[in-house]
Chains A and B, each alone.
Chain A
Amino acid sequence: MKEKILKNCRIIDPSQNIDEIGNIIIDSNGKIKEIGNKVKIPKKSSDIEEFDCEKRIAIPGIVDMNVFVGEPGFEYKENFRTLTQAAFAGGVTSVVTMPNTKPLIDNVSMVDFIIRRGRDKSNLNIFPAACLTREMKGKEMVEFGLLTAKGIIGFTDPYQVVQNTEIMSRIMDYASDMGALIMQHVEDYELSKNGCVNEGEIATRLGLQSIPSIAEKIIIERDLSLLEEYPCRYHINQISSQKSVEVIRKNKKNSKNFTTGVSINHLCLNDNDVGDFKTFLKFSPPLRSENDRKSLIDAINTGLIDVITSAHKPEDEESKRLPFAQAATGSIGVETLLPLVLELYHNKSIKLQKLIELITVNPAKILKINKGTLKTGRDADICLFDLDEPWKVDVNTLKSKSKNAAIENKTLQGKVQMTFLKGELVFEN
């Protein structure tokens, strides 16, 4: 590989506290060689490939902690190839894949399969998660040790919670010793059963069964109480409401050690957007009120939320073209994660550096992976984007195999121009 130089770019790398105009040199092994405003541009030569970035922004390749890839079992929704294209087009270079495939990823042989398959079909950095419990039934824990040894990054029962407190306590106790990361979907099943929208006026008007925000709060409170007894690596996948933010604030004050994520959907949309039964806006947890949305933004600004994810959940048309109560939850999002994140900067909700931190270095730290940074010597995973370029979301041009985008036809500001993976240019606008 030739050496590359990205010159004249605004480098934002929260892991090194950098926000400056400078140059990045990538060595022939695809690692960052030099970075910053002091880097001199070498003389032109045929050995060096040059990219003039025209003051566009270069950030570490995005790390998305919550992505569903349809393999195995749901290839008609998404496969490694389409996911990879979508991710690169969105500046995402590392993903944590969810284990709710068919069959489920809850044993060692499945891990082998997924890692091999991912490697064969994709050059994206794939970090597979495994189920927290066998068959996602919430009853027996999986083999944390063996699975971790095989390369599992974390454990989660996607969109499901371990309802039994005794079992959850044992899981946390055992996992702590293995150093396993637990990523919990926080939602009391009994309270959320059959529900599909936020509790409130919208639910009453639409005549839909609601999911109260207390369903989320109660599990967070339970788990954080357990965490006191069984300290382990604990991450909350997504929170959606003000009530949850309050619980997290209280517990962070008591210097408890845990991390929290939020999906970009809950930062940019609210329950009003559900409108006339738009099933693309059905989420788990559901979109909450505008007050809840604002409290989530506030929580990011005060450091209570650590990670923003896309909660990328491709669904085929047949799963969405149904009466609202029967429709599947979720939206695709890996490709539009960064532009939506930038919306929060453009509307002055959150500072740009903070936002970049939540999609690069923070998830990498939680996952304990060498990503989300542009430090010298690390893999040159770089996302280069234009902060202001306007564009309209057209589902037909999105790369994902499924077209269920909650932000269909939305006008966005900011677009990825180039994505580099280990020094290779893998996407160009």
Chain B
Amino acid sequence: MAVIKKTSAIKNSPKHLLGIQNLSILEAQKILNEAKAFIKLNRSNTKKLDTLRGKTQINLFFEPSTRTQSSFDLAGKRLGADVMTMNMSNSALKKGETLIDTAMTLNAMHPDLIVVRHQDSGAPNLLSQKVNCAVINAGDGRREHPTQALLDALTIINRKGKIEGLKIAICGDIKHSRVARSNIYLMNMLGAEVNVIAPKTLMPDSIEQLGVKSFTSMKKGLDSCDIVMMLRLQNERMQGSFLPSKREYYEYYGLTPDKLRFASKDALVMHPGPMNRGVEIDTKLADDINVSLVKEQVELGVAVRMACLKLYCK
């Protein structure tokens, strides 16, 4: 008999980092605290540790990525792990090998960590059931991108000192965004108030159930927000008739200095990258070091990933 259960959509078994959902607040804080220590290290002259010496980390990327991939690459190397990056977007999978087979093959090489990015939601969950090592999700479909949310949280804490009580707006293609979902869960968990802003065609169904307020107007949605997170608008969305044109999107949803004035005075701007300048964000605003945290996000990304690798490695 199908009774309504409390959604146990995703289970985070303790040794994998599959998503922010069901990550406990203590676990999240532990990662963030651990990462803080690495910020300093990454700015120093000698960046290499031997925390993960003798450990093998495999980066398994089924979807092209530069930032996340290089960030994980660097993070592993700085901790002293042996890092192997496998770019799968044009590899065995095209020869008909299934995800499970790939997992089995890699598992036989006894890795200690697998960092995986996949175009299908839930692929890391499936992978984690078949391997003996920790699986870290580096982005799956439109479901989750936990390390991105964690690095965003660390960036905010670094600047604002805290997350609790802040008002955070996430704007853009919410529907197709794993970054948005992970950030919604994490920022909510850490005590922020979250607004999501998107044109109706890019707003997922029942998004309010995730504990956010949804807006279609930047003016209303940005009102008194402390943080404005812009999302990348993928070009292919234009073809699916989600939007009439880039021009119109920029007019209504592109972040410009004018629109930023709707937010609180000392509001800061974030973007997970890569940016479409002139589509979702004004180019000068993106580079304005007084309001834009984009570079800091990239920098702290390495620290957060080091923390994750360290904590999840057996």
Measured CB to CB, the residues of A under 8 A from B are: 199-208, 210, 212, 268-270, 272-277, 290, 293, 318, 321-326, 343, 347
Q: Is B207 located at the chain interface by the 8 A CB criterion?
A: yes
CA distance A188 to B77 in the complex (A): 50
- From known contacts A207-B178, A326-B120, infer whether A290 and B2 are also in contact, taking CB-CB under 8 Å: yes
CB distance B120 to A205 under 8 Å? no
One of B7-15, B30-38, B221-229, B299-307 contacting the partner: B7-15
- Nearest A residue (CB) for B99: A323
- Using A207-B178, A325-B141 as known contacts, say yes or no to A272 and B99 having CB atoms under 8 A apart: no
- In the bound complex, how far is the Cα of B306 from the Cα of A266, in angstroms? 46
Rounded to whole Å, the gap between the CB of B186 and the closest CB of chain A is 14
Main DSSP-derived SS at the B contact region: loop
A410 and chain B: residue at smallest CB distance? B1
State how many angstroms separate the Cβ of B80 from the closest Cβ of chain A: 32
Whether the pair A272, B2 counts as a contact (CB closer than 8 A) is: yes
Whether B8 lies near A204 (C-beta < 8 A) is no
Contact B126–A277 (Cβ < 8 Å): yes
Chosen A-B contacts, 17 in total, with CB atoms closer than 8 Å, are A200-B206, A203-B204, A204-B181, A204-B210, A205-B21, A206-B9, A206-B10, A206-B143, A207-B181, A208-B121, A208-B141, A208-B142, A268-B1, A269-B2, A274-B9, A276-B10, A293-B2
Report the separation of the CA atoms of residues A208 and B140 in the bound assembly, to the nearest whole angstrom. Answer: 10
Q: What are the residues of chain B within 8 A of A212 when measuring CB–CB? A: 205
Of all chain A residues, the one with the shortest Cβ separation from B100 is: A321
B123 within 8 Å of A (CB atoms): yes
Check: B125 CB closer than 8 A to any chain A CB: yes
The CA-CA distance from A81 to B182 in the complex, in Å, is: 49
Mask for B136-171, Cβ within 8 A of A = 1, else 0? 000011111000000000000000000000000000
Q: Which residues of B contact A321 (CB under 8 A)?
A: 98, 100, 126
B122 contacts partner chain A, Cβ-Cβ < 8 Å = yes
Q: Is the CB of B209 within 8 A of A201?
A: yes
Q: Which residue of B lies closest to A203 (CB)?
A: B205
Alpha-carbon distance between A325 and B141 when the two chains are bound, in angstroms: 10
Q: Which residue of chain A lies nearest to B209 when distances are taken between CB atoms in the complex?
A: A201
State in angstroms the CA–CA spacing of A347 and B3 once bound together: 11
Whether A323 contacts B120 by the Cβ 8 Å rule is yes
Q: Which residues of A contact B120 (CB under 8 A)?
A: 323-326
Q: What residue of chain A has the Cβ atom nearest to residue B207's Cβ? A: A204
Cβ B121 vs Cβ A324 within 8 A: yes
Instruction: Please give me the residue from chain A that is nearest to B10 by CB atom.
Output: A276
* Alpha-carbon separation in the docked complex, A148 to B89 (Å): 49
Give the contacting residue for A277; candidates B7, B118, B122, B210; CB below 8 A.
Answer: B122
Take A204-B206, A205-B9 as given contacts and tell me if A272 and B121 are in contact as well, using a CB distance cutoff of 8 Å.
no
With A199-B205, A276-B10 already in contact, the answer to whether A323 and B2 are too (CB < 8 A) is no
Contact at B9–A202, with CB atoms within 8 Å? yes
Residue B26 is within 8 A (CB to CB) of chain A in the complex: no
Interchain nearest-CB distance for B189 vs A (Å) = 15
Q: Is the CB of B2 within 8 A of A273?
A: yes
Task: Tell me how many residues of B have a C-beta within 8 Å of chain A.
Answer: 34
Interface residue? B94 (CB, 8 A): no
Q: Smallest CB–CB gap between A262 and chain B, Å? A: 14
- The answer to whether A324 and B122 touch across the interface, beta carbons within 8 angstroms, is yes
**In the bound complex, do residue A272 and residue B4 qualify as a contact, i.e. CB atoms below 8 Å apart?**
yes
Which residue of B is nearest A343, CB measured?
A: B1
Chain B residues lying within 8 Å of A347, measured Cβ to Cβ, are: 1
User: A270–B4 Cα gap in the complex (Å)?
Assistant: 8
A270, B2: Cα distance in complex, Å: 6
Q: Are A323 and B7 in contact (CB under 8 A)?
A: no
Q: Is the CB of A204 within 8 A of B204?
A: yes
- A185–B205 alpha-carbon span in the complex (Å): 25
Beyond the given A199-B205, A324-B120, A325-B120, please list 10 additional residue pairs across the A-B interface where CB-CB is below 8 A: A200-B206, A207-B144, A268-B2, A272-B2, A272-B7, A275-B8, A277-B122, A323-B99, A323-B118, A323-B121
Across the A-B interface, give the 9 residue pairs with the lowest CB-CB distance, nearest first. A207-B143, A323-B120, A207-B121, A277-B122, A207-B142, A201-B209, A201-B206, A204-B204, A323-B123
Q: Give the residue of A290, A325, A343 whose beta carbon is less than 8 angstroms from that of B121.
A: A325
**B265 interfacial by beta-carbon distance below 8 Å:** no
B258: shortest Cβ distance to chain A, in Å?
31
**Interface membership of chain B positions 67-80, coded 1 if the CB is closer than 8 angstroms to chain A and 0 otherwise:** 00000000000000
Q: Which residue of B lies closest to A287 (CB)?
A: B2
Q: Which residues of A contact B141 (CB under 8 A)?
A: 207-208, 325
Q: Does residue B5 face the partner (Cβ distance < 8 Å to A)?
A: yes
Q: Which residues of B contact A323 (CB under 8 A)?
A: 99, 118, 120-123, 126
Which residues of chain B come closer than 8 Å to A269, judged between CB atoms?
2
Q: Measured between alpha carbons, how far is A326 from B99 in the docked complex, in Å? A: 11
CA distance A275 to B8 in the complex (A): 6
Whether B1 pairs with A206 at a CB distance below 8 angstroms is no
Bound: A344/B246 CA distance, A = 52
Whether A276 pairs with B8 at a CB distance below 8 angstroms is: yes
Q: Please, how many angstroms separate the alpha-carbon atoms of A205 and B142 in the complex?
A: 9
Contact with A along B107-140 (1 / 0, CB 8 A): 0000000000010111101100000000000001
Residue of A nearest to B98 (CB): A322
Question: Which residues of chain B are near A204, meaning CB under 8 Å?
Answer: 181, 204-207, 209-210
Alpha-carbon gap, A64 to B94, bound state (A): 39
Query: CA–CA, A389 to B53, complex, Å?
Result: 59
Across-interface contacts of A325 in B (CB, < 8 A): 120-122, 141
- Is A210 touching B205 in the complex (CB atoms < 8 A)? yes
Contact present for B209 and A277 (CB under 8 Å): no
In the complex, residue of chain A having the shortest beta-carbon distance to the beta carbon of B208: A201
* Alpha-carbon distance between A326 and B98 when the two chains are bound, in angstroms: 10
Asked if A272 and B5 make an inter-chain contact with CB atoms under 8 angstroms apart, the answer reads: yes
A318 to B205, CA, bound (A): 31
Chain A proximity of B149: nearest CB distance (Å): 14
Closest to A199 in B: B205
A340 to chain B, nearest CB (A): 10
Shortest distance from the beta carbon of B162 to any chain A beta carbon, whole Å:
27
Residues of A within 8 A of B204 (CB): 203-204
> What's the nearest-Cβ distance from chain B to residue A328, in Å?
13
Tell me the bound Cα distance from A322 to B101 in angstroms: 10
Cα A402 to Cα B167 in complex, Å, equals 52
A290–B3 CA distance with the chains assembled, in angstroms: 8
Say whether, besides A275-B8, A276-B10, A206 and B121 are in contact (CB < 8 Å): yes
**In the complex, which residues of chain B have a beta carbon less than 8 angstroms from the beta carbon of A273?**
2
A423 to B118, CA, bound (A): 56
Identity of the chain B residue whose Cβ is nearest the Cβ of A289 in the assembled complex: B4
Q: Residues of A contacting B181 with CB < 8 Å?
A: 204-205, 207
List B contacts of A210 (CB < 8 A): 205
